[in-house]
Amino acid sequence: MIDHIDHIGIAVEGLEASVPFYRDVLRLEDLGREEVPSQKVRVAMFRVGEARIELLEPTSPDSPIAQFIEKRGQGVHHIAYSVRDASGTVRTLVEKGVEMIDREPRMGAGGSLIAFIHPKSSGRVLTEICEHGTTEKEEGL
């Protein structure tokens, strides 16, 4: 069901202030920026080995990331796992009694299909599953 760790999401107050650490200090491969209006975030993605680091900047005070930062401060927000079939994975998880935030996968950054597992079911860790689209797989994102 799970192929590998896809990315670690990190909530940040601003990409401009956070990107230089990952790009210039850690020298991670910068994969670019994207705005995801449905999630009210801008993201910056960096490759580290097979996985990625996803910096999440809120674009609205009512975004989930803004609320996370207000409550907990900047830091690790979620861990994401790559799957081949997001819909099938969600069905399997629900059958196993896992509480889902998303009962159906939705569009995420890079055209991926995503669904979140409720932290109550995953040891208080917000967990995301990701199915990457053909274009993203071809580009190595």
pLDDT digits (tens, 9 = 90+) for 19-57: 999 999 999 999 999 999 989 999 999 999 999 999 999
How far is the C-alpha of 93 from the C-alpha of 89, rounded, in Å?
A: 6
Give alpha helix (H) positions in the chain.
15-20, 64-72, 86-95, 134-139
Superfamily holding 4-139: 2,3-Dihydroxybiphenyl 1,2-Dioxygenase, domain 1 (3.10.180.10)
φ, ψ (nearest 5 deg) of residue 99: -80, 125
pTM: 0.89
Task: Match 């995953």 to its residue by tokens.
Answer: 122
Structure tokens at 32: 């670019």
